[in-house]
Every structure is written in C-alpha cells, then in structure tokens.
Structure 1
Amino acid sequence: MTMAVYVYSITSKGHPVRLDGLTPVGGSGESLRTVTNGDLSAVVSDAPQDLRPRRRDVLAHQEVQERLMADGAVLPLRFGFTAPDEDAVRGVLEDRAEEFREQLKNLEGCAEYHLKVSWDEDSLLRRILDENDEVRRLNEEIRGGSASPDMPLVLGELISNEVQARQQALGAGIVEALRPFVRDDVATAPAGQDFLSVSFLVDDAKEEMFLATQLSLANQVGEECDFRLRGPLPPYSFV
C-alpha cells in the first residue's frame, strides 16, 4: 500500500539537505527524506492522517524551511501540501523541471521580508484638518451650526478621499525607496488599520542596506505610522 507524502520544499539535487534532528509534520512515522528526479529534489515525509495546522506542526514545517534556506536556494511550499505518493512527486519534478530550475535560480541568495504599515487614525485626521483648507472650513461650519444638512456627508467623502490619497502616496513612496535593494516585490491587500502590506525578495548582499533604509523611512515618517517588518522568511510569496 502506497502512503501519501507531505511535501516541504523543492531544491536542486546539489543542495546539502541537512535534515538530521528535524521533526516531521505530524511528529511520527518515517523521518524526513528526499525524492529526486534528474537534478531536482523534493523534501518529504509521510503525511499524517489528520493533518491540521496545529502550532507544533506549523513550527515543524517552518523549521525545515529555515534549515534548508541556510544552505542554499529552496522553493518552499506552504503548510499542508501533500501528494498521493513519491511517484507523484517525481512526476511533478519531471513535468515542471524547467520552471522549478528557473525559480531556484531567481531565489538564489535571497530571503523574503514582509512589511506592514499602519497610520494612526487620529493623527492622520489632525494632519488633514491642519493642511486641507476645504476640510477645515467645512468642519468649522458644521461645528458652528451654519452647515447645510448634506454638508457632513460632503465632509466625510472629502476626508475619506484625502485619507486614501495620502495613504497611497506614502505607500508608493516607501516601496520605491526600498526597491533599489530588492529583486522583486509583491503587494497584498492590507487588512485592519494597515494601508500597506508588501513582500520583498531581498538579495543577501543588499540586506543590510534594505534594513537600514526601512529603519530610516520609519524614523522619517515618525510615530504617526507603525512599521512592522518580519524576516528573513522563506520566500513563499515568490514561488
């Protein structure tokens, strides 16, 4: 009876693939191993019967990626990827060999950093009131009781447009300032109070300048904005 396999990453056959001491997802069964076809390998283990994103298993998955990343380029798969058996894995390695080789080449010597930025709402509104004459005039008329019934709606739309324009301009400026130090970037839809959520593929040789520039941008913008940078991470966003 063939057993389903859990797939962590794809590497070149020449990657050292040091798996000693690592715990597989599920915590039991056969230890981590490689499945090879041509010049590509996949790191796998037996798939657990009740695969769920438990904390211990997500951490086990992440530890495999970090160990592999330390020794060379990998194509990290997100948590939960399984295949029916090892033959199926070999088939994918064969069918998509050219694509995988190209991706490995692009990711050589790189790591992912993810940046989220939010803008304190009260600070932004105060800034808009201070700097936008039309917003300030409408606000004063409403507070003074001389506004027409539709004026609060007009003011709300004007403020909303101004907030969006300022957030987009600052977000674009942040990304442009960091682009000289990255190979690629991918924006994702921001959530909650964030107005910027972007992943950067950072070359190891430019990592120091990338981090210094990000810190400088955060200092320039000041306490109104909250910069949250995570990394280095496996380059999930670029696989």
Structure 2
Amino acid sequence: MAVYVYSIVATSHPLLLEGVDGVGDPPATLRAVYAGELSAVVSDAPQELRPKRRDLGAHQAVQERLMADGTVLPLQFGFTATGDEAVRTVLEERADEFSERLRALEDCAEYHLKAAQDEDALLRQILREDDEARELNEQITSGSTNPELPLALGELVAQEVQARQDRLATAVVEALRTFAREEVLSRPSGNDFVSVSFLVDRDHEDGFRTAEKDLVDELGSDFDLRLRGPLPAYSFV
C-alpha cells in the first residue's frame, strides 16, 4: 500500500506523536520507518490526496510536534512512496545526505519574510528625487500633447522602481542575515519586492525578531513587512 511521508528525523528522536493525526478522512495513523540512524514518519496514503485545509493542517501539525522535540527534515505536502520498504531504501541510499542536513538544521527554525512598499508612496518618491522623471511629469501635467512623453515617463519609472526595489531587497536581507545560518531567496509575487527565508539558530531568535522590528521602524509606514515563524525548515531541506 502507498505511504505518505511527512518528515525525516534521527532514530534517537522521541517521536512523541500521541494525539496527532495523519492526512486522510478518516485520519491515518502515524508510524515510523527505521533505517540505521534515520527514521521517516509516515502513514498510509489516502486514495485521493489533495491540498485541502484539513490535510494541509495535519501535515503541518506533524512537523510542529516533531520540531518541539528535536531536529526535523520536513518534506513538502504530498510526498508519497510505494511502501515502507521503498522509504527504507531511500533512507539507506541517502543516509549521508540526510544526516548532513539534520546536523545543519540542528537547533534551528525557519523564518520567512515578505515586504512590500506602497506604490503611490514609491511613485511620489521617484518624482521627488529623480530629476528626469520630475521634468517629464511636469511637461505632461502642464498640458504637453507630445505622445512620447507618457511612454518615456512610464519606462523611466518602471526602471527606477526595479532598481530601488532591488536595493531595498538587498538592504533588508543584509540587515537580518547576521542572525541566520543560511538564507534562501524566492521570487517575490504581487507587490512584494522581497521574499526570503532565513534559517535561524534558536539562540539567535530574539535578536532576529528585534532586528526585524527595528527594520520595520526604520522603513516606516509606507512599507508592509510580514514575518512568519518559527516554521519547519522546508526551504532548507
């Protein structure tokens, strides 16, 4: 029977999973597959597995319970194998790799930060600080009928927005990376100019959160910073 794989831990992990349900309806019972110094937390896989809220929540609950008692390599939602023996084979074949990542993630949690700047405030800033953009805008607002002016202003503003957001993203990451073992940048979406995950040592979490709050104060009300964590270290597996 197919099995659903939640995460990989050291065999020494206490695996205190009483009261935690697996995915599926009815919820599957959790169990461990052992291979030397590694274990995988699994359950029987439901016949139809979709990213429904209940199953996503169950997957996350397993990671959080395991995190509370030791280091975890959390797998993304939806990972399945053909059976326990297939899981054991993977654990054996990739034992060195998994063991190395467990050591790298020891006593750490993931924090994910996204940041956006108010578009109107950014546009006002560009028109105030960029001489060329300001001149083009003044010509347009003074009644010029030259059709090239709006196009030129639009291109200039787009380039300036990208340049400024790239600099902001770099500054945000640099302000926080001192407290992190590792970082992973992902492509921002929507109005965000940065989307980054940090692997933060437990001993540095207070300093990391304080630095993020200082950054919020420094950037001001035109910026929206959203910090999530501590999270299972999905981005660093």
Q: 2:232 aligns with which of 231, 234, 238?
A: 234
1:100 maps to which residue? 98
Point out where structure 1 has 5 or more consecutive residues left out of the alignment: none
What pairs with 1:31-42 in structure 2 (closer than 5 Å)?
31-42=29-40
The match for 1:64 is 62
Residue among 50, 53, 56 paired with 1:55: 53
CA-to-aligned-CA distance 1:74-99 (integer Å, 9 cap, x gap): 10001111110000000000000000
The whole-number CA distance in structure 1 between the counterparts of 2:42 and 2:30 is 6
Which stretch has the larger CA shift, 160-169 or 87-96?
160-169
Q: Decide which of 61, 77, 80 is 1:79's aligned counterpart.
A: 77
Count of matched residue pairs: 237
Amino acid at match of 2:78: G
Provide the TM-score with structure 1 as the length reference.
Answer: 0.97
Determine if contact 2:115/2:193 at 8 Å carries over to the other structure: yes
Matches within 5 A, 1:23-172: 23-28=21-26, 31-146=29-144, 148-172=146-170
Secondary structure of 2:18's aligned partner: coil
Computed over aligned residues only, the root mean square deviation of the Cα atoms, in angstroms, reads 1.1
Taking a change above 3 Å as real, the CA distance of residues 56 and 82 of structure 1, as seen in their structure-2 partners, is same
CA contact (8 A) 1:5 1:44 kept: yes
Mark the CA change 1:159 to 1:225 in structure 2 (over 3 Å): closer, same or farther.
same
Q: Is the 8 A contact 1:29 1:46 kept in 2?
A: no
Task: Please give the per-residue CA displacement for 1:43-90, whole angstroms capped at 9, x wherever unaligned.
Answer: 001111111111111101100000001111110001111110000000
User: Hey, what does 2:4 align to over in structure 1?
Assistant: 6
**Partners of 2:5 and 2:41 within 8 A in 1:** yes
Amino acid in the other structure paired with 2:61:
E
Q: 2: CA distance between counterparts of 1:41 and 1:116? A: 33
TM-score scaled by structure 2?
0.97
Identity of aligned residues (%): 60
Decide whether aligned partners of structure 1 residues 31 and 123 sit closer, same or farther in structure 2, where only a CA change above 3 A counts: same
Q: Given the alignment, which residue of 179, 186, 206 partners 1:188?
A: 186
Taking the aligned partners of 2:175 and 2:159, their CA distance within structure 1 comes to 24
The CA deviation at 1:238 is: 0.5
Task: Tell me how far apart the structure 1 counterparts of residues 28 and 113 of structure 2 sit (CA, whole Å).
Answer: 37
Structure 1 stretches of 4+ with a deviation exceeding 3 A read 27-30
Shift, 1:129, TM fit: 1.0
What is the CA distance between 1:148 and its match in structure 2?
A: 3.2
